[in-house]
Structure 1
């Protein structure tokens, strides 16, 4: 979120909970943490929080971080697309070579015993 939005969150907290002292020092500490979050999500959580609890929320209780892309899932999708481009003949040859390698490995391990 932007700095102005983070300030707005703190102003909402101060308005909803008048007993909360919102000093410059406190705001200076909280702003960087809020700026890493998503404004709409934080405001939604703040709204829900105020309907349940009479005390002010901690930043952790109203935290809402932007969704990050799942790199592993993206890699798997990319690999599946690449695998779909490989011909069946090439896949069959690979399977045969893999089977031979497995048999060799098993026979080699049995020989050691």
Structure 2
């Protein structure tokens, strides 16, 4: 989210809550804290907050953190495929002779 989008968020809060003032310090802090978040998701959380609460939101109440991609299940499936292929390959390989027989 860029500074202009953060400013729009703050303006929306200002319009909805009489005791919320947009200041330079607040813009700097909120820009720093909301950096990297998706504007549309934060805006949706803000609108929901406005509908349900009579006090302005804190940063944490409207923040939206993206979950990191979890590739663990795909890795397990790949290991299963590789293991099955190795078992099939080893089934057809001739058994080594025992030199002590």
Q: Using structure 2 for the length normalisation, give the TM-score.
A: 0.72
Indicate the residue corresponding to 1:5 in structure 2.
5
Stretches of structure 1 lacking an aligned partner (at least 5 in a row): 92-113
Report how far residue 9 of structure 1 moved: 1.3
> RMSD value over aligned CA atoms?
2.3
Aligned residues: 92
Partners of 1:46 and 1:69 in 2: CA distance: 25
Q: Secondary structure at the match of 2:56?
A: coil
Indicate the residue corresponding to 1:67 in structure 2.
67
Indicate the residue corresponding to 2:79 in structure 1.
79
Matches within 5 A, 1:18-37: 18-37=18-37
Asked whether the equivalents of residues 2 and 31 of structure 2 are also in contact (C-alpha less than 8 Å), the reply is no
Indicate the residue corresponding to 1:14 in structure 2.
14
Q: Using structure 1 for the length normalisation, give the TM-score.
A: 0.66
Report how far residue 84 of structure 1 moved: 4.0
Indicate the residue corresponding to 1:39 in structure 2.
39
Q: Which has the higher helix share?
A: 1
Stretches of structure 2 lacking an aligned partner (at least 5 in a row): 92-101
Does the C-alpha gap of structure 1 residues 74 and 3 become closer, same or farther in structure 2, counting only changes over 3 Å?
farther
Asked whether the equivalents of residues 6 and 27 of structure 2 are also in contact (C-alpha less than 8 Å), the reply is no
Partners of 1:40 and 1:47 in 2: CA distance: 10
